[in-house]
Amino acid sequence: MDTVIAAIEVPLSDESELATLTDRLRTAGSVAHSRGLDGDTVAQLVLTLTAMSLPVLRSWLVARADHHKSTIVSWKGRRFVGYSAKEVAELTEALSRVLDPDADPPEGSQ
């Protein structure tokens, strides 16, 4: 099964929600605090994702979008923004293409 290293980025004030995600995924991850030149510090959970992780990640991202909370997911140096349910769906669809390139796309995703 393919894997991908991803970083799940949330504002520092939402850092505790990253622990909820690692609990649900039953996986260890590392939380990074990063600060760019603009001075804003964000929390990023770095973890290895598999196709099995995707449904859990999707429901966690949807729950955040429902509460109007933004999440940024990066892998292979590319950032994907999840502000809305639609964006979360696109994001997880893109992740599934990377994790399982031979799988057929889910109905209604194209």
Smaller CB separation from another protein, 46 or 56: 46
In the bound complex, what is the minimum distance in angstroms from residue 93's beta carbon to another protein?
Answer: 7
Q: Please give the helix or strand (H or E) that residue 74 lies within, else none.
A: strand 71-75
Classified as helix, coil or strand, 29 is coil
Task: Report the site for another protein in 6-65 (rule: CB under 8 A).
Answer: 6-7, 30-39, 44, 46, 48
Q: Tokens 């939402």 sit at which residue?
A: 14
- Stretch binding another protein (CB under 8 A), from 15-23, 56-64, 91-99: 91-99
